[in-house]
Amino acid sequence: MSEVLDQLRIRELIPHRYPFLLVDRVLAYVPHESLSAVKNVSANEPFFQGHFPERPVMPGVLIVEALAQAGCLLSQLSHDHDGKGERPLYVLAGVDNARFKRPVTPGDSLALDIEVEKTRRGLWWYRCEASVDGNLAASATIMSAPG
């Protein structure tokens, strides 16, 4: 689908809020298949005060969280409404094979690319990559489950 999701729509789908909402925009998605999103990394991010003041680097755990939020957005967007018109909230259930290839710093636009690897019994597995200017910054296999 070519629908772009802005902050308002993203906040309707997941409960995260500043400073922990780490997806700024969904650029495209195909239900049950893939999602592309972006996190614009600002020098004003609160974590840069301590990580690290003299050489700010986005913590790897927050890159993984951004990927997990993008994956959960894909699950939310893919899920058919139940009889009550409600979707389950998908939460992070596992991270495997996390690898970090380059630092993410203020001013970077972090591209979040999610592909569904498989689904089973309500669980979703995604192949995830985060990149900056086409250069891989991090990758992981992430699992989510309805919470």
**Which three-class secondary structure state does DSSP give residue 3?**
coil
Residue of 16, 32, 51, 79 with catalytic role: 51
Q: Respond yes or no on whether the N-terminal peptide bond of residue 20 is cis (omega within 30° of 0).
A: no
Is 51 catalytic? The answer is: yes
User: Given 3-state DSSP classes, what are the helix, strand and coil percentages for the chain, each rounded to the nearest 5?
Assistant: 20, 40, 40
In angstroms, the CA 116 to CA 2 distance is: 18
The DSSP letter of residue 121 is: T
Tokens 């972006």, located at residue: 38
Catalytic residue positions, numbered: 51
